[in-house]
Amino acid sequence: MNQSEKDFILVYGDAFVDYIANDTTNTSFTKYLGGATINVAAGISRIGAPSALVTITGDDETSEFVRNEIKNEGVNLDYAVYVPEKRVSGVYVHLTENCERVFKDYVDETPDLQVTPQQLNEEAFQRASIFNCCSGTMFQPTALETTRAAVEMAKRNGAILAIDANIRPLRWSSEAYCRKTVASFFTDAHILKLTDEELFFLTETNSIAEGIERLRPLHVPIILITVGADGAYAVLNGEVIHVPVEKVVPVDTTGAGDAFMAGILRYVHFNGLPTTVESLTDCVAFGNKLGAMAATKPGALTALPKYEDIQGLF
């Protein structure tokens, strides 16, 4: 079966809510759906590919808001987990006098309530063309165990495994434990996506070439390293290429990496895993274009391109 004949791209991760100040008094806030994995799942759906999400929500108003927003984005929630006591985590974002955003207060009332390995549904992985996850919750023991179980399910059912590092070092007990844990997933990955800063952090190097060389023994088929306005480096079975991006005037780069990843996953769902330099270049150029488009609009999820925005790109 071709990957495009599978039902959807399956994404696993935490739901998140951004409470963004309405003005610089920072006294009233508007809720927005957020979180990297949510952005990727919604970003995939927006550009015309099917996506499904494994996450956990509860019985309160915020969880209901999250579920409704995700469904409105066209993301399949059949395999999401409902636990009444769960409270979705979030962050209050204040505005400075120059209207710059400052992440002020994080809220996480139930950090230990996570999707468990037993709550994973094998059917979701049987239907998935690609399984995408990141390190965003791996610092939490249950979430780490669930991620490992999900990877095994993906492998068992022939899904392509895509890992978006998405590292938040401050959430880990130590940098060394973070490196060891995140890197332990790389040998199973078909696609590994990193920012240049994440590459340097994980490999303890300070150049793209050194970082790639340090990852070489892991034999990851495709490594993608985003470098902002300079596009991305892509490694195909050890061969390194640079794929530039058309220059844009950035307004807010918050969701650019998520838009890039959504583009990569869409390409792979419909075209299969790139096996030549030419096909990988096409794939990364598509991701680059989406990332650049997202950077020209404010916000993260709100900035992600829609299908009508990309019609001429494929």
Q: How many residues does the chain have?
A: 314
pLDDT of residue 252: 65
Question: What is d(CA 168, CA 68) in angstroms, rounded to the nearest whole number?
Answer: 27
pLDDT of residue 248: 81
pLDDT of residue 201: 96
pLDDT of residue 21: 84
> Are 212 and 235 contacting, i.e. CB atoms less than 8 angstroms apart?
yes
CA nearest to 295, candidates 259, 262, 266, 264: 259
pLDDT of residue 116: 98
pLDDT of residue 171: 84
pLDDT of residue 300: 64
> Are 112 and 94 contacting, i.e. CB atoms less than 8 angstroms apart?
no
CA nearest to 87, candidates 53, 118, 63: 63
Q: What angle do CA 276, 279, 282 make, to 5 degrees?
A: 145
pLDDT of residue 99: 62
Q: Which residue has the tokens 């794929």?
A: 243
pLDDT of residue 205: 97
> Are 283 and 271 contacting, i.e. CB atoms less than 8 angstroms apart?
yes
Q: Give one word for 42, left, alpha or beta, with left for phi > 0 and alpha for psi -120 to 50.
A: alpha
Given a cut of 50, the residues of the chain with pLDDT beneath it are 1
pLDDT of residue 255: 78
Question: What is d(CA 198, CA 212) in angstroms, rounded to the nearest whole number?
Answer: 12
Chosen CATH of 3-16+35-88+111-313 out of 3.40.50.300, 3.90.190.20, 3.40.1190.20, 2.60.40.10: 3.40.1190.20
Q: Where are the alpha helices (DSSP H) in the chain?
A: 36-46, 61-72, 122-126, 141-156, 175-183, 196-203, 208-215, 256-271, 277-295
Q: Encoding tokens for residue 260? A: 């890039």
SS3 state of residue 41:
helix
76 pairs with which residues across the strands? 52
Q: What angle do CA 171, 54, 63 make, to 5 degrees?
A: 75
Q: What angle do CA 248, 251, 255 make, to 5 degrees?
A: 95
pLDDT of residue 270: 96
